[in-house]
Structure 1
Amino acid sequence: ARDRPYVVAARIGGVSRLQQVFRHVLPVLLPSLTAMTAFHFADMLVASSALSFLGVGAPLGSPAWGAMLAESRPYLFLAPWMMAVPAAALALTVLLLNLCGDALAQRLGGRRRTDLRR
């Protein structure tokens, strides 16, 4: 983004480096950053649940979805809903986080390359 014409023009015009970042670089990067943040948050949620399920993360008895899945595993054939509810909650949360990240990226990414010339 440093070699973009509008950043070079701002640099030639005497705009400070901080103003260049906040006015020219950050608005271009913001849609990607928000989407990546939402995706990484969903990844961390899945990793935390997987570690809790394996017994490495949150201790048993804690209200973590992975721990709930681990505790309900012995009762899978007797009461499958005990495992289905935390698994569905985890899957739905990850799906919604990804959809929110996409929606934020699209909403914040309203500026296109042709808009930057104005």
Structure 2
Amino acid sequence: MIWTAFSRRQNRVVAYHIGDKGVTSAMAIYRLVKQAVGTIEAIYTDANSCYHLAFERMGIAEPHTQTKTQTHLIEASNSSIRDNLARFNRRSKRFSKTHQMLDITLALFFNRHLITSPM
């Protein structure tokens, strides 16, 4: 699973993480975002319960809101990734399951589109 974080202020993806759907991945993406942007004013996520558990464990003070209405920008970014990278489209000829190939593909895509990640 690919986790991406979108900054409304910078109007771009500021970090990404490849991991499972669990609490450790939620904590990892939070650390990457904190490293990339510094101060976080608000966090908007979908209703995945791992965010709440991760933020609780880490003692995060930023306001966290679970809502679908504020996540449309990240959904648009995800759609752009799927549209531009066939690897995330179909699991036939252009699919590789290796973590390394996914990371290389995303790094190339983000660098080409002037999107950076502190990875």
TM range (shorter): under 0.3
User: What TM-score do you get using the length of structure 2 for normalisation?
Assistant: 0.21
User: What TM-score do you get using the length of structure 1 for normalisation?
Assistant: 0.22
Q: Which has the higher strand share?
A: 2
Q: Which has the higher helix share?
A: 1
Whose radius of gyration is greater, 1 or 2? 1
